[in-house]
């Protein structure tokens, strides 16, 4: 009887090498795509976190500006790197609060003191300050001056007599706060320009409005006794 040889189908060495090369190329493309997608996710996530912090800081400033009260004293100021003013308190323990925003060493800080506490000194501001934004390259506050004068008429007369050369000593309350800023980022710097409106009141100083009203109110003549 003749023996029939049986042949089994198999890959040759060249076919196996070609298959391995193709699989390696496909794996390399998949790893590259995954790495690119991961880097995009990290950049987007970092940008969103930075944008959220910036939005939160501006929202906080807008909310404080919405509660602005025109009370003028030695602590109230509107400078290029600092603003301090009174706001309606959000807590029932006090009806007024004094809030300050200052920019120094690349940090935007918010300090707040309730009415009745000690004066808004530098030491008090440090103990009550909170960092709300980091990585600031440049930050400038500027103002659109309104038509309502600051303080009583006597205070304004003194200011006019002094003729102080300081550009920050204004005779009128600002109608808007303008912010121009440059924020550092890992990939690129962000430029910001925005305006925040302040509520306009018909009084120069809400703190002295009651006393001025009493002083200007005509007194009724005393009745003569019969």
Whether residue 161 is contained in a domain is answered as yes
State pTM to two decimals. Answer: 0.66
Whether residue 22 is contained in a domain is answered as no
Dihedral sign computed on CA atoms, order 127, 133, 134, 139: negative
The H or E element spanning position 196 is: strand 190-197
Predicted pLDDT at 156? 45
Whether residue 191 is contained in a domain is answered as yes
Distance, in Å, from the CA atom of 103 to the CA atom of 4, rounded to the nearest integer, reads 94
Whether residue 1 is contained in a domain is answered as no
> How many domains does the chain fold into?
1
- For 26, phi then psi, to 5°, come to -65, -45
The H or E element spanning position 158 is: helix 153-162
Whether residue 131 is contained in a domain is answered as yes
What rounded mean pLDDT belongs to the chain?
A: 75
Predicted pLDDT at 53? 83
Residue 132 structural domain: 47-205
Exposed, middle or buried, 148 (CB in 10 Å: 0-12/13-18/19+)? middle
Nearest to 102 by CA among 140, 56, 74: 140
Whether residue 83 is contained in a domain is answered as yes
Dihedral sign computed on CA atoms, order 143, 97, 71, 63: positive
> Does 201 or 178 have the greater pLDDT score?
178
Whether residue 139 is contained in a domain is answered as yes
Predicted pLDDT at 226? 44
Tens digits of residue pLDDT in 92-119: 777 888 899 999 999 999 998 876 545 5
């Amino acid at each position: 009887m003749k023996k029939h040889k049986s042949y089994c189908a198999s890959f040759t060495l060249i076919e196996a090498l070609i298959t391995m090369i193709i699989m390696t190329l496909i794996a390399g493309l998949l790893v590259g795509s995954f790495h690119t997608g991961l880097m995009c996710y990290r950049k987007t996530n970092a940008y969103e976190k930075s944008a959220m912090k910036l939005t939160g800081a501006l929202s906080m400033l807008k909310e404080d500006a919405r509660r602005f009260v025109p009370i003028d004293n030695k602590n109230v100021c509107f400078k290029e790197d600092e603003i301090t003013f009174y706001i309606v308190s959000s807590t029932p323990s006090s009806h007024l609060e004094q809030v300050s925003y200052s920019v120094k060493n690349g940090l935007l800080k918010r300090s707040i003191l309730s009415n009745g506490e000690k004066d808004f000194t530098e030491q008090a501001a440090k103990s009550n300050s909170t960092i709300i934004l980091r990585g600031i390259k440049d930050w400038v506050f500027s103002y659109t001056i309104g038509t309502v004068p600051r303080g009583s008429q006597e205070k304004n007369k003194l200011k006019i007599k002094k003729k102080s050369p300081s550009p920050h000593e204004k005779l009128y309350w600002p109608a808007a706060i303008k912010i121009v800023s440059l924020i550092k980022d890992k990939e690129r710097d962000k430029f910001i320009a925005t305006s925040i409106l302040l509520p306009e009141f018909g009084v120069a100083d809400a703190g002295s409005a009651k006393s001025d009203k009493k002083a200007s109110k005509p007194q009724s003549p005393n009745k003569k006794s019969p």
